[in-house]
Structure 1
């Protein structure tokens, strides 16, 4: 999985449309191998980003869990600490 794509489910506050779109963009970039597509591929690339974003939004709104929502700030601090331990 692409390291830049973050888990968006079960957070408080819920993932924003911008976060979902950013994850979709990273996913399509990874699949296509393009950071920025050529003009010839731009329409297909942008359509794919919108379709993936829409599918991700539907997925996130349809998932259910009994686990308590995670705190974004606390999870970010844990990730920074893991990074410090890993890279010094």
Structure 2
């Protein structure tokens, strides 16, 4: 799956509309194989992004967990540490 799509569930503060929209856009770009659709495909591309964003929001709103919410700063620090190990030369 696309590396740019991040987990959005169980964070404090919760994922906002911009994060959901960005994830939907990345997903549609990946599936369609294009970062920017042609003029002929712009309308269907935009509808797909809106539909994926709506489905994502519905999913996030419906998920439940007993785990405590993750802290975005802590998770970002962990990701940076993993990247340093992965790309260390």
Asked whether the two chains share a fold, i.e. TM above 0.5, the reply is yes
The match for 1:78 is 78
Length-normalised TM-score, structure 1: 0.99
RMSD value over aligned CA atoms? 0.3
Structure 2 gaps, min length 5: none
Unaligned runs of 5+ in 1: none
Q: Which residue of 1 aligns with 2:18?
A: 18
1:52-71 matches, cutoff 5 A:
52-71=52-71
Structure 1 partner of 2:27 = 27
Q: Residue by residue, what CA displacement relative to the aligned partner does 1:25-83 show, whole Å, maximum 9, x if unpaired?
A: 00000000010000000000000000000000000000000000000000000000000
Moved over 2 A (4+): none
1:73 and 1:63 map into 2 onto residues whose CA distance is 22
**CA distance in structure 2 between the partners assigned to 1:59 and 1:68 by the alignment:** 18
